[in-house]
Amino acid sequence: MRREHQLWNIKKSHMNIIENEKIRLLVKELDLIPIIKNAFIAYSEGKTTVPPVAELSFSDPPGDVHIKYGYMEGSEFFVVKIASSFPENEKLGILNGQGMMTLFKMETGMIEAILLDDAYLTDVRTAVAGAIVAETFSNEISTIGVLGTGLQARMQAIYLKYVTSCRKIINWGRNKKKMEIYKQDMEEEGFEVELRVSPADVARVCNFIVTTTSSENPLLSIKDIKPGTHITAVGADTLTKQELNTDILKKANLVVGDSLSQCKIRGEISHGLSSGEITENDVRELGDVLKGGKSGRSSKTEITVVDLTGVAVQDLSIANAVYNHFRLKKNEI
């Protein structure tokens, strides 16, 4: 027992536990766009090991848990991320998102650090991916269309500030009260916000749309979409969620997924494939486009769709970046 106790003390002496408040301070000092962009490229180049997502879904109360894990070539650590979303938590005064990221030494498997982020880093890396996609695929954004009123509906718009000067949002949500709160919150962030009564009303006036709901029924169809529109689909991160009618994928000039293997199983692309509206040959992988191996938007009239299902490589890269910055700033925060 003494030896086991000694070994545990050694582990504790090497393990750092970093809580949400410090993580948020560290993130503010990082330029995450090139970090996440390079992660997508490394993924498409086969320089990462990312097993399939492990997932738990619950109905009473509703919620889901994703476990994502893997490592990148040359990395000091492998990462295991657990992130949950329980929409009814707000009734209890608890954050809907919960979770943590754990870093293990590649050489020994010992725990190096636990990032108790309450799923904050998952939200950040998703919003950063949205900014990367907007910069790569959209025309000059005249108006930002946002479907949804939750945290990601806010963060997607906030991170767009890094890549566009547009500060006008057209918003729709399923709950009128939450739409009003969203409008107030985003106006405090420097946006001009107008509310609409339907998703189609948003699409008719926007050339850039981001969908962030947990809907299991399509909110938009191709008849709603203007030529030249870019859609970033964020909400459909499970097997059953769907925000876009598959006719949008069929008619789109460019359909891109963050992970081809993952998008076969979950997200908008999976529904397009299962319906027969598109085939695997119709879909490109985000990292391939970012590295210049495959073409992106080629005209201002094209309709483009990017399906962001959330890839573990984003978690690996943001966890490593935050922890490495923590080691540099350890005595200052």
Q: Is the dihedral of CA 180, 182, 118, 126 positive or negative?
A: positive
* Terminal C-alpha separation, the chain: 36
Q: Give yes or no for residue 1 having a pLDDT over 60.
A: no
Confidence of residue 6 (pLDDT cuts 50, 70, 90): low
Confidence of residue 332 (pLDDT cuts 50, 70, 90): confident
Angstrom CA distances, 190 to 50, 62, 100, stand at: 38, 33, 31
Q: Give yes or no for residue 11 having a pLDDT over 70.
A: no
- Positions marked catalytic: 81
The pLDDT, as a whole number, for residue 90 is 83
Q: Give yes or no for residue 155 having a pLDDT over 90.
A: yes
CB atoms within 10 A of CB 163: 17
The per-residue pLDDT for range 110-153, each reduced to its tens digit, is: 999 999 999 999 999 999 999 999 999 999 999 999 999 999 99
Upstream peptide bond of 61 is cis (omega within 30 degrees of 0)? yes
Confidence of residue 4 (pLDDT cuts 50, 70, 90): low
Average pLDDT, the chain: 92
Confidence of residue 69 (pLDDT cuts 50, 70, 90): very high
How far is it, in rounded angstroms, from Cα 229 to Cα 59?
35
Single-letter amino acid, residue 99: G
How far is it, in rounded angstroms, from Cα 210 to Cα 208?
7
Helix, strand, coil in percent for the chain, rounding step 5: 40, 25, 35
Q: What is the pTM of this model?
A: 0.91
The pLDDT, as a whole number, for residue 85 is 87
E strand spans, the chain: 16-19, 48-49, 54-59, 62-72, 77-85, 97-105, 111-116, 144-147, 168-172, 192-195, 208-211, 230-233, 254-257, 283-285, 304-307
The per-residue pLDDT for range 225-254, each reduced to its tens digit, is: 999 999 999 999 888 999 999 999 999 999
Confidence of residue 329 (pLDDT cuts 50, 70, 90): confident
State mean pLDDT over 60-75. Answer: 92
How far is it, in rounded angstroms, from Cα 159 to Cα 130?
8
